[in-house]
């Protein structure tokens, strides 16, 4: 008897472009493809925490449209950043009902970086909201999130599309959604643009995309050049671009799953 391969979903960093993740997930739902675990970085960790808590793509899209920019971001006067994570923590805590990672419906991991050591921090247990806040805290913009006396920042600087984490979690097949393949800033005008553009460049330096393709079984890279990482007006567009990319990748994913099941 052949066993069903364990499908790992990897959701990469990318700001509000992350709504493309939700579009991909909607395609999986419509084709009754159930993933077994999720590894996420930055916005991918937020969406991953929600899907592992039982939220479907339609609900997550509705939340994204219904919550304003001010709901997520609390602007602060701090020497280490100008956006705090308090609002994000409260939202995630409420939506996940204050559960710990090990209490979620599916195995979940969030990737952050320890600012002092520069090392990757993988959250696979503990407070879900703390893990997400650690993973989304863009350095230079967000105040680093303090976790057990350590300062955590966005995992984008160490592992923006954490395929390796999904493998460590036991995934037989890895479907990765990478949002760093395109830059979305044509003109650098603000300090925010400087940081985001710098992270874009760094992400491309961290990953050879040929190597990324080799590490995962199916790689989805939505064409998001029209969507800025901070544009709340492009939520629906990002979602639809993710759906399109998901449908394009579906035949290969089905083929890989079928082959893996026959092993």
Q: Which residues are catalytic?
A: 42, 154
Q: Which residues contact 73 (CB under 8 A, 6 or more apart)?
A: 83, 87, 88
For residue 154, what are its two tokens? 């966005």
DSSP alpha helices (H): ranges in 36-177?
43-52, 57-66, 69-72, 86-95, 128-136, 163-168
Give residue 140's region: left, alpha or beta (phi > 0; psi -120 to 50).
left
For residue 190, what are its two tokens? 């603000």
Residue 78's CB is within 10 A of a number of other CB atoms, namely 12
Contact at 8 Å (CB) between 229 and 203? no
CA–CA gap between residue 254 and residue 196 (Å, rounded): 35
Dihedral over alpha carbons 51, 52, 55, 58 (to 10 degrees) = 20
């Amino acid at each position: 008897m052949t066993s069903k391969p364990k499908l790992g979903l990897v959701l990469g960093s990318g700001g509000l472009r992350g709504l493309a993740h939700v579009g991909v997930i909607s395609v999986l739902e419509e084709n009754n493809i159930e993933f077994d675990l999720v590894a996420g970085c930055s916005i991918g960790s937020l969406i991953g925490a929600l899907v592992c808590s039982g939220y479907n793509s339609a609900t997550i899209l509705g939340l994204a449209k219904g919550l304003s920019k001010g709901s997520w971001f609390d602007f602060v006067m701090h020497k280490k950043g100008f956006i705090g994570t308090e609002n994000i923590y409260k939202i995630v805590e409420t939506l996940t009902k204050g559960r710990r990672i090990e209490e979620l419906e599916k195995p979940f991991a969030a990737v952050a970086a320890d600012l002092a050591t520069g090392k990757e921090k993988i959250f696979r247990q503990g407070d879900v909201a703390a893990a997400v806040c650690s993973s989304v805290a863009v350095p230079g913009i967000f105040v680093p999130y303090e976790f057990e006396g350590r300062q955590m920042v966005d995992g984008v600087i160490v592992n923006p599309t954490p395929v390796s984490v999904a493998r460590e979690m036991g995934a037989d097949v890895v479907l990765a959604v990478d949002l760093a393949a395109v830059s979305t800033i044509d003109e650098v005008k603000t300090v925010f643009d400087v940081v985001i553009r710098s992270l874009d460049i760094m992400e491309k330096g961290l990953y050879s995309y040929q190597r990324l393709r080799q590490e995962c079984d199916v790689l989805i890279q939505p064409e998001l050049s029209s969507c800025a990482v901070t544009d709340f007006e492009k939520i629906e567009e990002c979602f639809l671009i993710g759906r399109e990319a998901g449908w394009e990748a579906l035949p290969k994913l089905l083929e890989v799953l079928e082959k893996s099941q026959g092993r």
